[in-house]
Homo-oligomer: A and B are copies of this chain.
Amino acid sequence: MKVTLRTDVLTNNNKAAEFNRELFQNTKTLVMNLMSSPGAGKTTLLEETVRVLAGKYRIAVIEGDLATERDADRIRAMGARAVQINTHGGCHLDARMVAAALGELDLDEIDILFIENVGNLVCPSGYDLGQKHKVAVLSVPEGNDKIPKYPQMFMRTELVLLNKLDLLPYLDFSVEEAKRDLAEINPKSNLLPLSARTQEGMHEWFFWIEGAYLKWLQQ
């Protein structure tokens, strides 16, 4: 009984994800699903991304949070369109929530859409939102053991942004160990060390986005 319901929930989610994916394909909107622990710095990363890339691409953001409009307000303050989803206790976004939020955006006017998932290193990884890319954000203060301890997340993402690199001098964190752990769990994934706060390494992330967008257009 429980298994049936669970499968059913995922099937409905997958139907909605297919609906979203077709819409993104038809409107040529490149969509990325950003996932991380609470406080890994997804919103700051998106603020900087909007600041640097908004002159070149039309960017919008869907923000997922249990409560408050804070993150959408921060993105709007940077000049990009943002839609806030409040899950009211729900631990992840699903494709139907995203489909509903799309009603507030004109996808024909958007080149790149970032979806900032609920801060949670567990639940969001299991739900397809119809995105083209799944990106995980890990931050230096969270410690070196997160990749082996939360394998489901890192198995399912193709890029890991290692944020808050500016805190490296004050903490015991080995970037090399993180790269080795990631290579072991998901050899196809890449780790980009950066700091949204100091800009260090951010050009690599922008370069990755530009490459992904070019590839997307050529599909």
**Residues of chain A having any CB pair with chain B under 8 Å:** 1-2, 5, 37-39, 65-68, 70, 89-91, 118-123, 126, 139, 141-143, 145-146, 148-152, 164, 166-167, 170-171
Contacts and interface: CB of A to CB of B under 8 A. Distances in A.
Given A120-B121, A150-B38, A145 B70 contact: yes
Contact of A5 (B5, B70, B171): B5
A128 to B, nearest CB: 16
A66 to B, nearest CB: 6
Given A5-B2, A141-B141, A164-B141, A68 B121 contact: no
Nearest to A144: B39
A139 B170 CA distance: 15
Indicate the member of A39, A66, A122, A126 with the most B CB atoms within 10 Å: A39
A122 B66 contact: yes
The number of times this chain is found in the oligomer is: 2
Contacts of A123: 91, 120, 122-123
**Which 10 pairs across A and B sit closest by C-beta, in order of nearness?**
A39-B142, A141-B141, A91-B122, A37-B38, A38-B121, A39-B143, A37-B37, A91-B123, A89-B152, A67-B151
Contact of A149 (B2, B67, B142, B149): B67
A167 B150 CA distance: 25
B66 A151 contact: yes
